[in-house]
A = this chain, B = another copy of it.
């Protein structure tokens, strides 16, 4: 159907004699001889005001046109005498497409709690807030692609179904083609050799190993796709399915990695601020009053670069009371990360060179033999936004680490091969896409930046 989007109408340079608008009614007000409709079609945050004069075709259906109903309006775009809007529509006809019973339609004009809206995740994108999040999510994804393409990175699709376990830890979901009424057993154990892939399969926790592989052929690459954790943690920060951005650069070290993380974060925030002004505005007004100050702080400051050892010293001297102990060799908890970035430095901090004992096998061993070239980038309000490292490109050192950690050497045959044939220094990081969205919108629960969140005991929609 040849329809004008509300966004196009609101941004029009001049009036239009005739246009077709379709959308959903947000509110209706009746006056003497005419009615006002506020119409929204999802193309932008704002509604357009439609004047329905008594007697136009379809006017008689107006009693059935209530909040939530879908309508088609033919009319002209004219200057609005009202405040805060340049244009309004004077309807020539109106047609009710889909009725919404005012007795049962849940999104009447009042504020609903986030908790309630999660139970109607299929309807919440019709609200201002969730419509805005969805549009921002879309634009932020686009910004990722333009940023990396402009820098000559190639987008690769790392597989979701995997036979290996990138982190050498992590709770993974099993993927199976079995008929569960009839699982083949062998000596009292499930016989995965008879499963679809001939062995046990899982959902990936990271596309990193694939990205490393492709970087050693294409140079600079990135993945952007869903990743999974079967962690039984019911927190506002954890979901079983979430998207991750994972760039990987060949011929790069930890400094290049930190440079990329900083530049990329700033670019993405700037892009959304520029392209999603209206949508972002409501988060600054209704969700987090300090939102724009937080974003300014990130964009305007050079990120601090702080060795882990110095971070520990700062935390030890801190007057703050921490729940978890601070000691060289222990991982930083969110409370420590937030102290560093929010209280001590008051800006983003890249903490690097972590003790090898608390990091993964693939991170490059530093010359001190006790730390690895890992970096976590911490930002206010979120804590860790980015986790990355230079990867171990020396086969002998990699093998030593695989053995130390008791991993299965055979499973990594192809990963080791990359070090066997023309190995190169390379580095990359992972950025949780939802964390970035939470940072940019100020939304504090991951369930509210994913359209249909998957968490423990929640698999609706």
Contacts and interface: CB of A to CB of B under 8 A. Distances in A.
Interface in A409-432: 414-415, 417-425
Interface of A: 1, 3, 5, 7, 22-25, 41-43, 68-70, 72, 97-101, 104-105, 120-123, 125-126, 131, 134-135, 137-138, 141-142, 145, 149, 152, 154-163, 171, 173-178, 180-181, 183, 189-190, 192, 196-201, 203, 210, 213-214, 216-219, 225-226, 228, 230, 232, 240-241, 243, 250-253, 256, 393, 414-415, 417-425, 450-452, 454, 456-461
Contacts of A171: 177
Given A98-B423, A155-B142, A219-B42, A214 B125 contact: yes
Contacts of A23: 219
Chain multiplicity (copies): 2
**What 8 pairs across the A-B complex have the smallest Cβ distances?**
A98-B423, A125-B217, A42-B218, A197-B459, A122-B414, A138-B154, A70-B422, A22-B251
A108 B218 CA distance: 18
A214 B451 contact: yes
Contacts of A240: 161, 196-197
Contact of A424 (B70, B105, B123, B251): B70
Given A158-B452, A159-B451, 6 more contacts: A1-B253, A7-B152, A120-B414, A134-B156, A135-B154, A161-B240
A148 to B, nearest CB: 9
Contacts of A454: 159, 161, 197
A190 B180 contact: yes
B163 A425 contact: no
A159 B252 CA distance: 34
28 contacts: A23-B219, A25-B422, A42-B154, A42-B219, A69-B422, A70-B423, A100-B422, A134-B214, A138-B154, A141-B155, A158-B451, A158-B452, A160-B226, A160-B228, A161-B459, A174-B175, A174-B176, A175-B203, A180-B190, A197-B240, A197-B456, A197-B459, A198-B458, A199-B459, A201-B459, A213-B461, A225-B226, A226-B226
